[in-house]
Amino acid sequence: MYTVITKIVYPFKEFNNKEDWKSFIVTKYVPEGIDPLRVYNFKLMDKYGHHFFRLKFEKPQTGWLFHTYQTREEYLGSIDLRINQQEMFNKDGITYEIFYPES
């Protein structure tokens, strides 16, 4: 298994809880069924279970995403999608740090 950890800090607003943070980020940046990384990951969630993809919220602005891929091929298939997502967030001044299993 390969776990990628992503830290996203949205510096322009404070959130009260994980649900508010997630709802805002999903609505504004990574819509359900449209964002390529989310589409990719949801297919894998349906195959293996949603517990392999988790979100931890750190008040007031930080989300930690834990994405565990079952195979090296599935992990490798996520890298370019994640880099594209990172570029989109960074362009808007949002911190998006990726911690790969090898690092």
pTM over 0.75: yes
Mean pLDDT, the chain, rounded, equals 95
The predicted model gives 48-60 an average pLDDT of: 94
pLDDT tens digits, one per residue of 9-47: 999 999 999 999 999 999 999 998 899 999 999 999 999
Averaged over 64-81, what is the pLDDT?
96
How many other CB atoms sit within 10 Å of the CB of residue 76?
11
**What integer pLDDT is reported at residue 32 of this predicted model?**
86
pLDDT for the residue 33: 86
**Is-cis flag, bond preceding 101, omega within 30?**
no
pLDDT given for residue 42 in this prediction: 94
pLDDT of 70 > 70? The answer is yes
Domain coordinates of the chain in residue numbers?
2-95
CB 15 within 8 A of CB 21: yes
Residue 38 tokens, joined:
């989310």
- pLDDT > 90: percent of the chain: 92
- Using left for φ > 0, alpha for ψ between -120 and 50, and beta otherwise, residue 62 falls in beta
